[in-house]
Amino acid sequence: MRQHIMSIDDASALIWEDRTLILAGDEDALRQLPQGNWIGGTIPYFITADQGGIATRDMVFVTDLTGTVTGVEVTYYDQNTIPSVYSDGPQHGFSFIIIPASSLTHLSFALNAPSYKDFGVRPLIGWVSGMHLDDLGKKTPKVFNGQTGEAFEEGALVLQAELPPDKVAEIGIVNLFEQGDGDTLVFPSDGFVVKSVLVNGEKQNFAAYLKDKKLDTHLPLVADYYGVQVNISFQAIHEAEGTVQFYAPVFSGVHYKHAKPVGDYVQGFGRLLEKECSLEANRLVFSCNCILNYLYSELEGKKTAPFTGPMTFGEIAYQLLNQTLVYLQVHEV
């Protein structure tokens, strides 16, 4: 297995062995690690193989790429340079990105990634770093460059990984949410915050619409991208301003619908894996899931085998996603 949760001492030992690692952990845990061949992001919530969902500030979640990749390069991006993230990807391999939540780079990437040059041409997977929910307003999400010992709350770190010629990277997602049978919602402009919406073609205030319809905002809006169900999760409804805020931007012209309820997440997850996912566990290199799934579906103590990983403030599979499990497989060809 390439993904493990472990003590800070055990993670340090792997770093001293010069292994190539992607790490997730609380800020104080990551700060205790030695310099080495790793990048990391802050988050203290995980799904583990043995204990299922846990929150811990004392352990580090490790994805070990040693033996899978033939070489890596770590690159820092900001909101001005992030548009080249796909073009800069290795000719034969994948790029792994970690972006601090609410940074300018996060917002820019979320809004504009599908229009960046070479979008979709080279695999890009990763996640948005966050913090313990008790630390909201006290700490900021960060990314760590283990090679230099630097930590950033602005920008993004990308680990560009080369693969051997006989292997290819492939990104997948597992999303329990699908479009419901309700109204079709179209927004007039792109953004994280919206005021008006076309409901079946009729302009309405979106905050008032949600209140009137009593829609459960734990369920996301869902768009159908050529068969891929892409979620937009609700962050807040500001009734006084008449606005609705999301964790990912809506895009103008896209047809959204409120999601169908999923019932028990773990049971639904199992059924979906059987139905749609032909994954072989030995090909699985990385996976992460959303903190909102952890919270709303009460995943503490529950397992989502074969997937483990950090529970993040946003998932990236080519573009920013919400309430979605993303994973990376490496196939032999």
Partner 1 sequence: MDVPEKTHKGWEDIVTGRKAYVLKSLAVKMVLGSLTLSVRGDSSPGNIAACIDQLHDVFAKNAHTPSVQEDLKTIFG
Residue numbers of the site for partner 1 (CB under 8 A)?
114-115, 118-123, 168, 170-173, 223-228, 230, 251, 253-254, 317-319, 331, 333
| Smallest distance, partner 1 to C-beta of residue 254, A | 7
Query: Of 59 and 285, which has the nearer Cβ to partner 1?
Result: 285
Placement of tokens 């690692």 in the chain: 21
236's tokens: 């807040």
Question: Least distance (Å) from partner 1 to the CB of residue 148?
Answer: 31
Q: Which residues contact 88 (CB under 8 A, 6 or more apart)?
A: 75, 95, 158, 160
Q: Say which DSSP state 201 is in.
A: T
Which one, 151 or 186, has the nearer CB to partner 1?
Answer: 186
Between 173 and 288, CB nearer to partner 1: 173
Closest CA to 22 of 7, 8, 2, 50: 2
Q: Which is nearer to partner 1, 107 or 277 (CB)?
A: 277
Output 10 or 224, the one with its CB closest to partner 1: 224
Q: How far is the CB of 53 from partner 1 (least distance, A)?
A: 25
Helix (H, G, I), strand (E, B) or coil at 90: coil
Q: How far is the CB of 113 from partner 1 (least distance, A)?
A: 10
User: Which residue from 20, 21, 65, 61 is spatially nearest to 43, judged by alpha carbons?
Assistant: 61
306 prior amide bond cis, ω within 30: yes
Provide the terminal-to-terminal Cα distance of the chain, rounded to the nearest Å: 21
- Which of 143, 70, 68 lies closest to 106 in space, CA to CA? 143
The distance of closest approach from Cβ of residue 260 to partner 1 in the complex, given in angstroms and rounded to an integer, is: 20
Are the beta carbons of 109 and 77 closer than 8 angstroms? no
Nearer Cβ to partner 1 (121/133): 121
Is 251:272 a contact under the CB 8 Å cutoff? no
> Shortest Cβ distance from residue 173 to partner 1 (Å)?
6
Smallest gap from Cβ 277 to partner 1, in A, equals: 12
Q: Which is nearer to partner 1, 57 or 331 (CB)?
A: 331
Contacts for 54 with CB less than 8 Å, ≥ 6 apart: 5, 45, 46, 47, 48, 300, 301
